[in-house]
Amino acid sequence: MMFYKNENALTAIVQLSRLELSSDYLNKKFNDHRLYTVAILLILIPLGLAEGVFDYKSHPEIKSELLQLRLYFILLVIPAWIILKSSSLKLVTAIILVTLVFSAYLGIRIIEHTGEDLVTTVSNVALYPFFIFFVLIGFSIYIQIFFLTVALSYVFLTENHGVLDELIQNAYFQISVQSSVSTLFIMLVFSWSYYHRYNLQLALEKSSQTDPLTGVANRRHFDNLLKSATTRSARSGVECSLILLDIDHFKSINDTFGHPTGDRVICALADLCVKQSRATDLVARLGGEEFAIILPDTNITDAENLAERIRKHVEDISVAGDAGEIVKWTISLGISALPLNKSSANTTEIVMEMFIRQADSALYEAKNNGRNQTVLSQ
């Protein structure tokens, strides 16, 4: 049991390390923290200017020079605005990296002016690792660690910088290392926490779109995807087809063999539809024994070929009843093609209704004609 848990943890770590390189994952991570990043940058402006008040008391002889440096914090409005408005993660990442370099440069210049002031040194440089984390909270853990490493490397270069004496240098070194290690721990914990939040959101999204019995799409997801397919077909002029199908005499199967057997029949049909369909098609359970398949970029002839392939496979399969009986069944199918010539003149909702109604009429005709057959809409 312990080995199994460790194996799961190792698998999760490997998956997290890969996701932190995935553009889809990183885009979602950034968008989830976009406003937070903007708020942090804007808050730094009054905080930076507020330190100018202390400069009047602690360094009255150079207060003008320090105030001029502090006023540069107002420029943080520029990256904050770009981050708020931009949809390009690469551009935002570049802006953030420039902002971090700019803020580090300001901190160094302030230390150069204040000289051997332990309080100023700690507040402007030693706490910089935490600033890196807060600003980069919505970015890849690899970028966070890279900039943390760069900031820590500066600690080892300050001896040759000629700014701090040995006493302050030692204090600066100790505090900076401790802050960097603490920040690294926070970065890793946050990335791990967000990874679990991401997986939870995916699970909730999937459960809201999936039929619990069969695992295929539910009616809500079907409606959303059909609307998207209809809109895309109307805009780009690509073909789209719809198959509606249900199990013949399903009530008789439930009455004769019981509802658990009926559920197995439904699941078997769902599995068959998924296996026979393409990855770009959507198989959905609309309710009861009725299913639908959306086929993007597919004309009605190819849709008919798929429908007939599914129908014939159903004739060759069976499920076992609770008492071991062999249960066989058939299906009826109706097919419609999206009326492209009418889609531009009508709203998406009207076209969708027409699309479904034609397939439903074809299915109804297949039922009336004796079942176990495929009918195309006229």
Which residues are marked as active site?
289
CA distance 58 to 53: 9
CA distance 123 to 116: 13
Tell me the three state secondary structure of residue 109: helix
CA distance 125 to 157: 13
CA distance 216 to 291: 10
Q: Which residues, other chains included, contact 280 with Cβ-Cβ below 8 Å and sequence gap of 6+?
A: 296, 297
User: Around Cβ 245, how many Cβ atoms within 10 Å?
Assistant: 26
Query: What is residue 163's DSSP assignment?
Result: S
Contact assessment for residue 316 and residue 329, using Cβ atoms and an 8 Å cutoff: no
β-bridge pairing 374-376 and 331-337:
parallel
Contact assessment for residue 281 and residue 302, using Cβ atoms and an 8 Å cutoff: no
φ/ψ (deg, to 5) at 331: -135, 155
CA distance 193 to 258: 46
Bridge partners of residue 291, in order along the sequence: 245, 285
β-bridge pairing 290-296 and 282-287:
antiparallel
Q: Which residues, other chains included, contact 166 with Cβ-Cβ below 8 Å and sequence gap of 6+?
A: none
Which conformational region is residue 203 in: left (phi greater than 0), alpha (psi within -120 to 50 degrees), or beta?
A: alpha
Contact assessment for residue 269 and residue 331, using Cβ atoms and an 8 Å cutoff: yes
For CA atoms 216, 217, 222, 225, give the dihedral sign: negative
CA distance 34 to 314: 51
